[in-house]
Structure 1
Amino acid sequence: MIKLTDFLIACKVPLNLLSYKVHLATGSDWLPLDAFYDGKFKEWQENQNGKNFSRDMVVGLIHVEGSRGLFAGVYRVLGFNPQEGKRVRYSTELLAGQDDLIGRVIVEHKRSGRAAYLIGKPDGGPFHVCEIRPQPMTIQDFPGYQEVCVSYAKLKIIIEQNLDTWRGALSNMKGVYIITDLKTGRLYVGSATGSDGLWQRWGSYVKTGHGGNKDLKRVLKDKGPRYVEHFQYSLLEVADSRTSDEYVLERESFWKEVLASRKFGYNAN
């Protein structure tokens, strides 16, 4: 496998081999891969919890699986501004000549520790290109009703970008869904019975965060609107558009009982 630095130089990306860092991007709230899908990785990377980019350039790699990272570009560090506490807001610019590489190049790297900001070596170090995808990585097509499990950030991208396979699948179905608060483990069970089914219902969560539910309104009022970033959305069961609303509501009540979401979760009734 070719080293990442050799590959970039061969592609005429003007990486400064004497002054760069490799950023192994991970996260727990706003995930870097979600930011990338939304076209906001640069913004995501510029917000740091310290002065992590003490070199002229930064190579962004987004963790995707195992020891593999998605190439997200080489950025020139222009400066930074202190923020609250130890946080820092960097100013960076994406180097020219990378449009055909970003989102397509997969890099292999076996981490020897937990460090996420590695000083780049002139010889390229242990980073090797292991795959070049035919197209930039995007949110996958609708995976099937039994496989739906998305973060708020990913759901927002799906709805706002009007992704065809997701819209086609969700707008044709009524159903019962579950929202999980990944911070506390508390659950909210809801149902979709409107004309555009689950697509319409989940679209209302993207728009407002709470979808008009008084229980979730209270949560976001108490914890702030950005708390919605801790929510995860999944399907419990689906029914076609001919199914009566009464039946769907009965199934919603059943799942509330099974999961005890009235007693331990966010359901009030």
Structure 2
Amino acid sequence: MEIIRLNDLLQLTREEIDRTKIRFMVPSSGIDFNPNADAEDPSKQDKINLTDLVYNNEKKNFTDGVIAIGFIRIRDDYWLMTGIVKVIKDNGLAQPATAEYLTKKYNFRLVVRYHKNSQNGIRLAKGIIDDLEVIEVWNSDKTLNDKTFPGYKNVSVSYRELKKKLESSEWRTALRCRKGIYLITDKNTGKLYVGSAYGANGILGRWETYIKSGYDKNEVENGEYPNKNLRELVNEKGLSYIQDNFQYTILETFTDDVPDEYIIARESWWKEALQSRKFGYNAN
């Protein structure tokens, strides 16, 4: 199948490409910048393209006439295009330039594959535009918030986020096809619960149970009931406490050929490493 490149869709002229810069925007806790989170809120998407994308910090990258294309990482080498704009007024350092959209046709819909091997977040388009391979153009009803699986190493979501994401076929498929070790964190108390998933539906099966009732009513492990403390928490404070305070994180994943005994041993190792028996919710 013939590869489709980014400019096959954008149709920029050679002169336009020469004055185009591509910005790969990634979250930074140091400056309280999280474009991925903002992208989930339609009311903040213009801010990403018309402010964050064309912000001039220590250098004037976005001067009059420059075309800017923005991307945010959705997983590994996959990037979602936020938009393409043209600078109409440079407002100086430590200020966003004034910009306008060239088109909004592909905003938050166009996914490309690109291996970013440079620390520089702003690149000249003429050097890399032919390396950006179009993977998918989302339908208008597909959004970053509830559709895209970020990769197993990047899963850490609240109860309500997880419940919504489990409506996505992409999330369900990804979680179903992996066994794993997961961590449940009570953000109110800091207490932890380490669990393992090695049944037919992988991590999906375990997390669907937790979403439904907050704990597993039927799980037995080595003749013991590991969900005792979670059950007591729900009985005492109700499922609403779980919904307000619990976060779900994947620690390790395994393919189907990995023996269950090995996964159980890794689960025990994590319980010891995180001291979730002594200070958390693990009862075994």
- C-alpha distance in structure 2 between counterparts of 1:24 and 1:61, whole Å: 5
Q: 1:178 to 1:74 in 2, by over 3 A?
A: same
Partner residue in 2 for 1:7: 9
Q: Does 1:20 align with 2:28?
A: no
CA distance in 1, matches of 2:165, 2:125: 41
Q: 1:28 to 1:34 in 2, by over 3 A?
A: same
For 1:148 and 1:58, the matched residues in 2 are separated by 28
Map of 1:43 onto structure 2: 47
Flag as ranges the 4+ runs of structure 1 deviating above 6 A: none
Question: 1:184-199 counterparts in 2 under 5 A?
Answer: 188-189=190-191, 193-194=237-238, 196-199=240-243
Q: CA deviation at 1:5?
A: 2.1
1:234 equivalent to 2:240? Answer: no
Who is 2:67 aligned against?
57
Query: How far is 1:21 from its partner?
Result: 0.4
The aligned runs of 1:1-269 (5 Å cut-off) are 1-9=3-11, 16-29=16-29, 30-39=33-42, 40-44=44-48, 45-46=52-53, 49-51=57-59, 53-55=61-63, 56-77=66-87, 78-82=89-93, 88-99=94-105, 101-121=106-126, 124-135=129-140, 136-140=142-146, 150=156, 178=185, 188-189=190-191, 193-194=237-238, 196-199=240-243, 201-202=244-245, 233-234=247-248, 258=276
Deviation at 1:157, TM superposition (A): 9.6
Change (3 A) 1:3 1:52: farther
Q: Does the aligned pair in 2 maintain the 1:80–1:89 contact within 8 Å? A: yes
Give the conservation status (yes or no) of the 8 Å contact 2:56–2:97: no
Distance in 1 of aligned mates of 2:60 and 2:99: 16
Q: What displacement does 1:25 show?
A: 1.6
Secondary structure at 1:115's aligned position in 2? coil
**Letter of the 1:22 counterpart:** I
* Cα gap change, 1:235 to 1:25, in 2 (>3 Å): closer
Shift of 1:126: 1.8
The runs of 5 or more residues in structure 2 that have no matched partner are 168-182, 193-232, 251-273
Matched residue of 1:16: which SS? helix
SS at match of 1:34: helix
- Structure ID, larger Rg: 2
Identical residues among aligned pairs (%): 13
How far is 1:41 from its partner? 4.3
- Aligned pair in 2 of structure 1 residues 115, 52: CA closer, same or farther (>3 Å)? farther
C-alpha root-mean-square deviation of aligned residues, in Å? 4.5
The residue type paired with residue 114 of structure 2 is H
Give deviations 1:13-57, integer Å, cap 9, x for gaps.
Answer: 9x9323110011212334322111123244352556533633512
CA deviations over 1:145-187 (Å, ceiling 9, x no partner):
xx99546xxx69959xx95978xxxxxxxxx95257xxxxxx8
**Does the Cα contact within 8 Å between 1:52 and 1:117 map onto a contact in 2?**
no
